[in-house]
Structure 1
């Protein structure tokens, strides 16, 4: 037969039960708090990952746009290289060089444009073409003298006012002989992609003056 439970034992059991209930409630609250914190941390991680993903997508789009601009600029510069430097037999532009340490293509393209501009700028004709320039001056002097002689002959043949006006015109044409040589000299400079500077001009005019003077002296 069961022994009766004393009041002291019953009270102790109730107190023990209350303590266990309070402990369970406290642990349950801690578990809820931990769960909420974990959910908040997971939400923050998801939000940060989403933001990083958006940033990465934006960077990818910007990188693709920059790549398209760089490819277009490279193709344009390569076309200028082929046209300016006469390298028309070359194929497409060279492939990117990896492992060079340069990551920003903008300064590289700027240096390429500057180098291409300097390479494409026409220079002055070299001194090795001075004989050709002198020949241009001689040819101009001879041509102008021949035209002048023809005009004088026409004046003598027709007589009248032409006999007075054509010799004057012939003299003017003859004196312009040194300048006539600048026409073929300019064509020579254009063919060599050069400018007709002061030195080539002086060579042409000097040769033309000497030729015109000799022809005038010999024609007397």
Structure 2
């Protein structure tokens, strides 16, 4: 026959069962909380990874766009340089690629190159070595104008009438404009040397032409 269980023993088992049940519930709650935390952390990590991926894709697209703009500007500047060098540009070949040790913003570097090309493309004033040629232009212009004046006076003296009155006046005007006539060949000289006919070269031409004109007028008296 089964012996009856003492009430104190039964109560102890009930308390033990209650303790175990509570402990299991606590551990289960802790496990669920840990699981929820891990899921939330994983979701945050995935969201951060997606955001980093979007930023990386945007930076990549911007870098590609910048590279395309830089390549286009390099090609344009290279073509402009070849055009300015003319026949000597055949040895240049294709545009150079990016340097491996290059640092800094390529846009700033290209802007500097553009400024250099712009300054190089601006013609400067004729050098001092061209002064004899400038003086010769002034002398030649004055001689030509004086010769035209002499011819005009000769025509007036030959045909008489109104020409005898008007041609000497025209001859004087042409002769006095002789110093200015030298500016035309001087301008062509400057253009051939890709330079400007500035105030100094123009003054040399005018002074030489004026001196020649005065000398011829004095000698003709």
Normalization by structure 2: what TM-score?
A: 0.90
SS in 2 for 1:15: helix
1:85, 1:120 within 8 Å by CA — same for their partners in 2? no
1:72 counterpart residue number: 72
Partners of 1:79 and 1:147 in 2: how far apart? Answer: 48
- Alpha-carbon shift at residue 2 of structure 1 (Å): 5.7
User: What is the aligned length?
Assistant: 219
Unmatched 5+ residue regions in structure 1?
A: none
Superposition map of 1:68-217 within 5 A: 68-86=68-86, 88-89=89-90, 90-100=92-102, 102-217=103-218
- Which stretch has the larger CA shift, 18-27 or 83-92? 83-92
State the alpha-carbon separation in 2 of the partners of residues 75 and 95 from structure 1.
10
Which residue pairs with 2:22 in the alignment? 22
SS across alignment from 2:89: coil
Report the CA distance between 1:3 and its aligned residue. Answer: 5.0
The equivalent residue for 1:43 is 43
Structure 1 length-normalised TM: 0.90
Query: Any runs of at least 4 consecutive aligned residues in structure 1 with deviations exceeding 4 A, and if so which?
Result: 1-4
Following superposition, the deviation at residue 27 of structure 1 comes to 0.9
**In the aligned structure 2, how far is the partner of 1:196 from the partner of 1:118?**
18
Larger mean Cα displacement after TM superposition, 159-168 or 82-91:
82-91
Cα distance, 1:192 vs. partner?
1.1
Measured in 1, the distance between the counterparts of 2:94 and 2:136 equals 42
How far apart are the structure 2 equivalents of 1:201 and 1:63? 53
Structure 2: where are the runs of 5+ without partners?
A: none
